A and B are shown apart, each in its own frame.
Chain A
Amino acid sequence: MSTSFPGSLRKPTPLLAGVGLRFAHLADFEAQRPDVGLLELHTENLFGLSPSVHRRLEALRGDYAFSLHGVGLSLGSAQGMDPLHLAKIARQIRRYKPSLVSEHLAWNRADGISVPDLLPLPMTKEALQTVSRNVQQVQEAIGTVIAVENISAYARWTQAEMSEASFLSELSLRTGCKLLVDLNNLHVNQLNHGDAPLDFLETIPHASVVEFHLAGPSEIAGAWIDTHATPVPEPVWALYETALRRFGPLPTIVEWDQDLPALEELVAHASRAQRLLKQAA
């Protein structure tokens, strides 16, 4: 098993902060070529693209490192993952040679039905065994390690045998996978469940963390939802600074998926992250 990522960062640059590139911003991005180091693409959004859009993205590949971030593989499915879906992901990895490949500690598939959401897993030994098996299968299929991201959970299974941080730590130990820490998800879980984000950051192994995510949530009908529809709130920036002190400067993506702002505002967020990365270095 290779322990490296499929591509290498574009250049050994301090520009480790980047943005989630959504297609609504593509034309502006091509025109402005903003000074960010990393572009995140949702892997599933690449599946049905026309060849012309693929070519436009490949043209950016020369100037930016790519991170392919999946949302639909269902690493936690007891019945296993969809082999066709995995094959499609592998195809996009071969095409784009990303520096980072990631998925979520979640499931969305059972009885042959897929739900377009990131559903939480019970933090049990059985679930750990299932996710470990699936992560190993993914890593063998794509020939590289992946990073697994903590999620926002709006409901929890009561039969937990360990915390999410312990689950991820053990998963990394068993499979060699890396960890992607989404600081907004920690914030959302704190708001909804009273979780302690600092405990999470203290528990996960230092060497396993390879990437951070920043985003903004929304309050809807009394619940905080990981909508990626708002600016990164100050508590998340504070968590980010804490994480940088503990883990050092690592690639960081600012995600914004709904109610998209002008590209300049998104890039301004990445610039703020870059300044904090520089301080941490």
Chain B
Amino acid sequence: MMPTLAECQRAWIGALRQPEDAIRYATAVAGWQGGQRSGAQALAVYVNNSRATLIQALSLSYPLSLRHAGTSLFHRAAVRCLRDYPPRSGDLGEYGADFPAVLRDTAAEMHRDDAAWLADLARCEWLLDQLPRKTAHPAWTRADSTALAPEHWLGLRLSLAPQAACFIGDEPAYTELAEAFMAQASDATGFPLCEYFSADGECEGLLLVAQTGSVQLLGLRADECAWVARLQDSPSMMAATEATLTRWPGFDLLSLLSRLFDAGALLRITDDGEME
């Protein structure tokens, strides 16, 4: 009995995901022919094409990671990423969110001592790569905040603007990472970068804000990271500030707000949940 179209397509996807099983699939699911080649050989053309296309897509999203990891490690991680995290969208530009973790694991297996650093670099690159895909929205400005009556500050609801992305990792090398990123990203991506990088003391997080033709990087200290992360969970400025002050009594909200205003990284959320 002839398999249904859905069965045929599932079988083909399976063969493409597990190239080593291609011959088994090609013979088990009747019906592949390759002209002068066997069905398995013909299927291998597709396996090779899709693999090359996806590795190329990752190379375009992660040019710095490729440079620092080296071709061998990068390709090994890319192949593993394709197997474990296949694309879910026909939009190739969306593919690769899981690559930093795969790169870290693969680098660690190859006994690279920079595995964590490479993963951090890749995470930064991913944020940068995805920023143009976000819809820009007018930010809440310093003037807007000045115009707000004091009694309304208690109930103020804020969020990161869509054009901003916050990178808060779990490894301790962020200053070095940010420096490397700042020094090398512009020539690798073609996207003018790094108008300034301001961090007093150790940088534990990185905020990327896309602007017209450029991206601003802001280094965030641990208390600032906590405030931004809390705000991403819930837009209440009061709750985020209280939670941050509980752990970091010296947290300087006004200083952080000032930098976020300058970068155009904040939006005000209205009572009905709309971005203002």
Contacts and interface: CB of A to CB of B under 8 A. Distances in A.
Interface of A: 44, 47-52, 71-74, 76-79, 82, 84-85, 88, 107-117, 119, 121-122, 124, 126-127, 130, 154-159, 192-194, 220, 222-223, 225
Contact of A110 (B10, B42, B87, B210): B10
B14 to A, nearest CB: 9
B30 A51 contact: no
Given A79-B6, A115-B50, A126-B4, A157 B31 contact: yes
Nearest to B213: A52
Contacts of A159: 2, 30-31
Contact of A85 (B41, B90, B132, B210): B90
Contact of A155 (B43, B87, B91, B132): B43
Interface residues of B, number: 47
A84 B130 CA distance: 17
A78 B5 contact: yes
Given A78-B6, A122-B8, A223-B45, A72 B136 contact: no
B46 A119 contact: yes
A52 B49 CA distance: 31
Interface stretch (B32-40, B225-233, B243-251, B253-261): B32-40
Interface of B: 2, 4-6, 8-10, 12-13, 16-17, 30-37, 39, 41-43, 45-46, 49-50, 53-54, 57, 86-94, 130, 132-133, 136, 191, 210, 212-213
Chain B at the A interface: mostly helix, strand, loop or mixed? helix
B4 A113 contact: no
A110 B12 contact: yes
Of B57, B91, B136, which is in contact with the most chain A CB atoms at under 10 Å from its CB?
A: B91
Contact of A117 (B8, B49, B136): B49
A72 B92 contact: yes
Contacts of B136: 51
Contacts of A115: 13, 16, 46, 50, 86-87
